[in-house]
Homo-oligomer: A and B are copies of this chain.
Amino acid sequence: MARIKTEKNGSRKDVIVSKAATLFREKGYKAASMRDLAEAVGVEAASLYNHIKSKSELLHELVFNVANRFVLKMDEIESEPISSLQKMEKLLRFHISEMIHHYEEVYVSDREWKHLSDPYLSNYQNQRRVYRKRIAAIIEEGIRNKEIKAIDAPTVVLIFLHAVSGIESWHRSTKKINATELEQNMVAILIDGLKANK
């Protein structure tokens, strides 16, 4: 009888959630079936339900794990006594790092949250709106201090967030530059693009 192999100190549910992340990234939430997932885990589809409540539970577990990490980091950065531009750089580096090291989950959260169902959906949309406003607030502070050029803050947020999600292409690419270089390059373009002209 097949048995789900756990990592040490990890539950069987953890294994399933992790495999789900990979599968949801590859095929999308809707296109990934529970039978696909079962095969990836090495077990029959029905067996999954000893560990999870539903397919949708897998999605909102993934999404909120990621979201919480970002909110936590934002709390930290906001309270630091550094310039707005430095805050933006720190935040950017964190987003890049998350995208590199927790690729599957972050990618899935970003692309598949639409398939959440209420109350998780509206909850997530709220969190997202608030998070973006907090970024915008940092930028606007930087504009007031003449560190950052006078541009529409929500537009910067949008460029910022989506540019980072482009790391997806880097992951898929065959001849990658290394992660530190990638981070360096992204910071160079985006933070320089923000700086007020002296």
Chain A interfacial positions (CB closer than 8 Å to B): 27-28, 30-31, 111, 114-115, 149, 151-152, 154-159, 161-170, 173, 177, 181-182, 185-186, 188-190, 192-194
Count of chain copies:
2
CA separation between A155 and B192, bound complex, in Å? 15
Most chain-B Cβ atoms within 10 A of its Cβ — which of A114, A157, A166? A166
- Let me know if B159 and A186 touch, CB within 8 A: yes
- Of the candidates A115, A161, A168, A189, the one having the most CB atoms from chain B within 10 angstroms of its own CB is A189
Known A185-B151, A192-B192; contact A166-B162, beta-carbon cutoff 8 A: yes
A190 contacts across to B, CB distance below 8 A: 159, 189, 193
CB distance from A10 to the nearest CB of B (A): 30
**Chain B, Cβ-Cβ closest to A114:** B28
Which of B152, B161, B177 is in CB contact (< 8 Å) with A152?
B177
How many angstroms between the C-alpha atoms of A173 and B133 in the bound complex? 12
Which of B114, B166, B194 is in CB contact (< 8 Å) with A161?
B166
Instruction: Check if A166 sits within 8 Å of B159, measured CB to CB.
Output: yes
Q: Taking A151-B185, A194-B189 as contacts, is the C-beta distance between A169 and B158 under 8 angstroms?
A: yes
> A136 CB to closest chain B CB, in angstroms?
11
